[in-house]
Structure 1
Amino acid sequence: MSTTRHELLHAFDLLLAPERFRDYGPNGLQVEGRTSVRKIVSGVTASRALIEAAIHAEADAIFVHHGLFWRGQDGRVTGWMRQRLGLLLGDDVNLFAYHLPLDAHPELGNNAQFGLRLGLVTHAGSAGRFGEQELGFLGALPDAGAFSDGRALAAHVERALGRKVTHVDGGVHGRPIRQVAWCTGGAQGYFEAAIAAGADAFITGEISEPQAHYAREMGVTFIACGHHASERYGAPAVAGHVAAQLGLAHEFIDIDNPA
């Protein structure tokens, strides 16, 4: 089966509601390719490696979290930008990118899928959200469970993601972690909002210099598990959902990234 580029864009927009968000770049169709779409390849970032892999997989469209265009960037089409655009335009492949809308979707987005990966249950309604544009999620283990302390939570995250994390234990050793806040990617700036929301621990992708001090001074555990590593789950969930809806083929291609 196939659909049109326009119908595919409409399905993504209907699901992710990009008009609700103040974002750092354009959401939706970033590069126009062929009109008819039979196969979608999803990935985290529109890197040259992903575009080449999608072309090899005979994709008509690519769906990513990190697109090509960002507010304030150099607008010249040279170097890496020329290479990526050249591949997309040369093979007539559509590029769809959704940034904050993909983070925020309550079931299929990066934060929702990341919480599922960790076995966390998001609190219902507004109690389960915090921070600017309510992008942060707040929840706990099922059945009012708790992690024995910050180190136990960090070990749990490492097992779930299959990689080492950066862990700053702000709590007292042996103090249970009941309320867990998370926001994938480069959301270290949400740490103070997570503390204000009552979190015992905060999980995100990256850490900057101030967060270690906040963790120790406020007694709240901070875990950075990698930007790419925390955002591998929303794109395939959304693209797979829409592909099934429209009867299209879908393949997730994960380009290795240590970040």
Structure 2
Amino acid sequence: MSPVFDSRQFAEDTAQLAPQHGWRTHALNAVDGFPRPWFHLPAAEAQPLRLYISAGIHGDEPASSYAARELLRHTDQFVGIEVFLFPLLNPAGMARGSRENAHDIDLNRDYLNPVSAEVSGHLAVLRELPPCHAYLHLHEDWEAQGAYLYALRRDDIPNATDTLLAAMAEHLPIEQATLIDDFEAEGGVIARPYPLPPRDDWPEPYYFEDQHGAYHGYTLETPSSLELPQRIAAHLSAAHALANFLREHRAVFLR
């Protein structure tokens, strides 16, 4: 595919933007000459809620990274929440507009026994982070006609699925297919079992469930066929909605 994304300029822009809005700038290992910044937004509370957000793991899903960049401007949406934001996990793939990295590895299948430098470096940082109360993974789907999500949570954790769908529906239609990527779906939701079934090509959520057990996560998918601003807006709206959801259920999540 032809390049659709300037990864170096994106990294420079986000690194300059973040401190203007109270974020602390960090760096994953550079890969193939591409920097990979990530950002931490501290919270003033002694016991903060914690939210993890990742984007740009597939290089043909630009709305995810653009939305993550916009989140840097929206610190007012994260009052009382400590946020860990990884907006550019696969800069080489983003630069060439391909799902995989420059070595044709799907990074979102590499979290069990990583062979990619990108995932190895990501895991080195993740091992130092505290468990989060919610995880949000921003993605796109070239085959979908509407937005949808994968949801994984224990029965004793409040369910943000309807909240996230409603937020995305403000900007995009919701996918109505009953089979998505060989998973049964209903009303734009693929409900994943807890615990997740074994597999030998771990996506990112598998790592968190394995490490923390109490993984409470959502993978958002926006339809690549629709306009880019709509897709960005849907991701932004959902991230804001999840932050509000965490605050509304603060007592439950912090018990």
So what's the TM-score if we normalise by structure 1?
0.31
Please identify the structure whose Cα radius of gyration is greater.
Answer: 1
Give 1 or 2: higher helix fraction: 1
